[in-house]
Amino acid sequence: MNTVGMIYKTTIFGSSHGPAVGCVVDGCPAGVAISVDRIQKQLDRRRPGSSDVSSPRKEKDHLIILSGLLEGKATGASITGVVNNKDTESKVYDAFKVVPRPGHADFTATMKYHGFHDHRGGGMFSGRMTIPLVISGSIAMQALESRGIRVAAHSLRIGRIWAKSNPPIPDIERVARKSDVGCADPSVAKLMKAEILDAKREGDSVGGIIECIASGLPVGVGEPFFNSVESVLSHLLYSIPAIKGIEFGAGFQVAEMKGSENNDQFKVRNGKVITETNNSGGVLGGITNGMPIVLRVAVKPTPSIGKTQRSVNLKEMKETDLEIVGRHDPCIVPRAVPVVESVVSTGLLDLMLAGGLF
């Protein structure tokens, strides 16, 4: 099931250590201007090796477009983007087919695919599979921007360090997109970086929370009953490896709120209906109400750590110690920030097209 979407359909392919990763994006309306440079810039933000908080794997991740664009515009045909894999060290992964790494898909993939899956580098479960998500999402983001919609994410929390929730989108675009920890507040960013480097020193890793905001959407986006905004976005967001929680607006805090506190009261400003608060996160009955969409996702600490772990030799069905050597990120939150922006863009464009609102 490597295809997702109603009208704007994304089909992904590839594996970490195969020849390439990429995607085919279908349903982008003919005539929408798409800059390949801008897609490349989002890929560069996702790319490892750019700072000491990420894995030292060095890849240019150079995007090649095989179809669907002509003279800078979508042709109406499917758009194919490919990134070749280069800096791969596959041998180290052979052992994980027999002794699976805790927190990784080694065990479940071996069982599901009877050992025939491409296990090298995590195969199709690798974080590298978020490259196609970024390609699809960057195309969608450009289409959305042509309608005045902006989608921006930032690191809200890394380990014990919290940033302020719901910063203005221009702050995210100006600060967070340049921060090596994806944070919109430079002073908090320093603390987050220290938190990551602490974990790195211990041979350990840390998790975090990413917040994403989408503004400028018209009222009426969302296709109930089953394709509510929350359903479509969470479906896509939970495809990102390492996401373990998703909440919209007040999220889990609604559990402790009274109806009178949680209900967003309507008011009129500049001839438009808006709400005083935004506990709904911009979505009522699964449909956008014109307020910004606000959502947060919990990102687990990278499962690849330097510390010795306990696992099982599947051939002998015996418990054993496991030490993982190789390159890994002490925290993947910063690199996941553009991925979250991307899948939210993909989902919103699809919903707008399905609703006849693009």
Q: Is 194 in the site for its own copies (CB under 8 A)?
A: no
Q: How far is the CA of 91 from the CAs of 57, 271, 311, 325, 329, in angstroms? A: 15, 64, 19, 12, 19
Q: Is 135 in the site for its own copies (CB under 8 A)?
A: no
- Of 167 and 207, CB closest to its own copies: 207
List the x/- string, 263-282, binding to its own copies by CB under 8 A.
xxxxxx--x-x-xx--xxx-
Would the CA dihedral through 195, 250, 151, 349 be positive or negative? positive
- Of 105 and 172, CB closest to its own copies: 105
Shortest distance, position 188 Cβ to its own copies, whole Å: 15
* Burial call 3-14: b when 16+ CB within 10 Å, e when fewer: ebbebbbbbbbb
- Of 164 and 178, CB closest to its own copies: 164
Q: Is 341 in the site for its own copies (CB under 8 A)?
A: no
Distance CA 215, CA 169 (A): 8
DSSP result, 222-238? -BTTTB-HHHHHHHHHT
> Of residues 95, 180, 309, 327, which one binds its own copies by CB under 8 A?
309
Q: Is 108 in the site for its own copies (CB under 8 A)?
A: yes
Shortest distance, position 351 Cβ to its own copies, whole Å: 10
List the x/- string, 3-42, binding to its own copies by CB under 8 A.
xx-xx-x-xxxxx--xxxxx-x-xx--xx-----------
Q: Is 216 in the site for its own copies (CB under 8 A)?
A: no
Give the pair of three-digit tokens for residue 27: 């349903």
Distance CA 56, CA 339 (A): 19
- Of 195 and 341, CB closest to its own copies: 195
- Of 281 and 338, CB closest to its own copies: 281
Distance CA 43, CA 272 (A): 37
Shortest distance, position 104 Cβ to its own copies, whole Å: 7
> Of residues 52, 67, 168, 170, which one binds its own copies by CB under 8 A?
67
Q: Are strands 243-248 and 272-275 parallel, antiparallel or unpaired?
A: unpaired
Q: How many C-alpha atoms does 168 have within 13 Å on its Cβ side?
A: 3
- Of 173 and 254, CB closest to its own copies: 254
CA nearest neighbour of 65 among 57, 56, 73: 73
